[in-house]
């Protein structure tokens, strides 16, 4: 199979980008965007449609199995994981690969998502004690712990701006993980930060709901954390999801 790509190319330290058109062939019917980029980078003689050498395409990956979130990029305009996007699902038109637009571009498809991790640090969203072991796969704690910190939800959020106070779903979901285990979250520092940096900034448009590559039930986590950390409602079982 032959695929046509349009790949956004940006040099290190440069703010301007250009689309490079590249033709890439594979016999692998299950090839993904990640395997295409790996294949292109493995070919030292790869040329674009003008015969220009393509050179190394910068992008990020680690697990290659939808576990780390590193390979998030815009694929045909939609934020997705490259390792979880089969080429066969993208139709016949050229496949456009671009970096996430809410974060500074380092080079090509690689962005600096440090702001997401800074937000987690500023809100002190981490486990500082042994957490409960649960088999409850319907619970808030389990659901929230599946976040990959990929940033796809921030990409589509109309209210998230890097540098702004609102942290978006990428912090809301991990915060829900901690809040789910608290007795009275509304009275804690995290409860206070949740109200200021998540609840008050979220327009509840739920654009983030269907974009999450982990398929996290974002609106249910929002409902649960808003109920406990904002409205001070108690939930019988701390990890239990509200329906
Ligand atoms: S509900 Fe809307 S405003 Fe709130 S985090 Fe999701 S996309 Fe952003
Ligand atoms: S909530 Fe989903 S889209 Fe947002 S960072 Fe976590 S895994 Fe990615
Ligand atoms: S490389 Fe880890 S999610 Fe794609």
Q: What separation in Å is there between the alpha carbon of 84 and the centre of ligand 3?
A: 8
Question: What residues contact 206, with CB distance under 8 A and at least 6 apart?
Answer: 218, 219
Q: Is the pLDDT of residue 135 over 70?
A: no
For 184-222, write each residue's pLDDT tens digit.
999 999 999 999 999 999 998 899 999 999 999 999 999
DSSP state, 161?
Answer: -
Q: Give the residue, 240 or 116, on which the prediction is more confident.
A: 116
Testing ligand 2's pocket by substitution, the residue of 148, 198, 217, 220 carrying the most ligand atoms inside 8 A of its CB is: 148
Q: Give the residue, 131 or 84, on which the prediction is more confident.
A: 84
Q: What span, in angstroms and rounded, lies between the C-alpha atoms of 223 and 125?
A: 19
Helix (H) or strand (E) holding 7: strand 2-9
Q: Which two tokens stand for residue 73?
A: 């990029």
**Whether the CB of 159 sits within 6 Å of ligand 1:** yes
Q: Which two tokens stand for residue 8?
A: 């956004």
Q: What span, in angstroms and rounded, lies between the C-alpha atoms of 104 and 112?
A: 6
103, 99, 98: which is closest to 163 by C-alpha?
103
Q: What separation in Å is there between the alpha carbon of 63 and the centre of ligand 3?
A: 5
**Whether the CB of 75 sits within 6 Å of ligand 3:** no
pLDDT mean over 104-111:
97
Phi-psi region of 168 (alpha: psi -120 to 50; beta: other; left: phi over 0): left
Indicate the domain borders of the chain.
Answer: 2-111, 114-230
SS3 95: strand
**Whether the CB of 164 sits within 6 Å of ligand 1:** no
For the chain, give the percent of residues with pLDDT over 90: 82
In CATH terms, 114-230 corresponds, of 3.20.20.300, 1.10.10.1800, 3.90.550.10, 1.10.1060.10, to 1.10.1060.10
Domain with residues 2-111, CATH architecture: Roll (3.10)
């Amino acid at each position: 199979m032959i695929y046509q790509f349009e790949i956004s190319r940006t040099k290190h330290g440069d703010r301007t980008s250009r689309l490079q058109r590249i033709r890439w062939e594979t016999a692998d019917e299950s090839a993904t965007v990640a395997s295409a980029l790996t294949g292109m980078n493995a070919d030292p003689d790869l040329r674009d449609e003008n015969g220009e050498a393509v050179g190394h395409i910068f992008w990020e990956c680690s697990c290659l199995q939808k576990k780390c979130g590193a390979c998030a990029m815009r694929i045909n305009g939609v934020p997705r994981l490259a390792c979880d996007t089969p080429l066969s699902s993208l139709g016949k038109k050229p496949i456009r690969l671009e970096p996430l637009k809410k974060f500074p571009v380092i080079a090509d498809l690689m962005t600096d998502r440090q702001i997401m991790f800074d937000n987690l640090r500023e809100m002190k969203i981490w486990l500082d004690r042994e957490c409960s072991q649960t088999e409850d796969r319907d619970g808030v704690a389990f659901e929230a712990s599946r976040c990959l910190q990929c940033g796809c939800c921030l990409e589509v959020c109309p209210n998230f701006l890097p540098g702004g106070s609102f942290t978006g779903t990428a912090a809301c979901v991990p915060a829900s993980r901690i809040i789910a285990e608290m007795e009275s979250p509304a009275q804690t520092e995290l409860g206070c930060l949740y109200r200021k940096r998540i609840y008050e900034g979220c327009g509840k448009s739920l654009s983030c709901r269907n974009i999450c590559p982990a398929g996290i039930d974002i609106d249910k986590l929002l409902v649960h954390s808003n109920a406990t950390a904002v409205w001070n409602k108690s939930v019988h079982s701390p990890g239990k999801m509200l329906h």
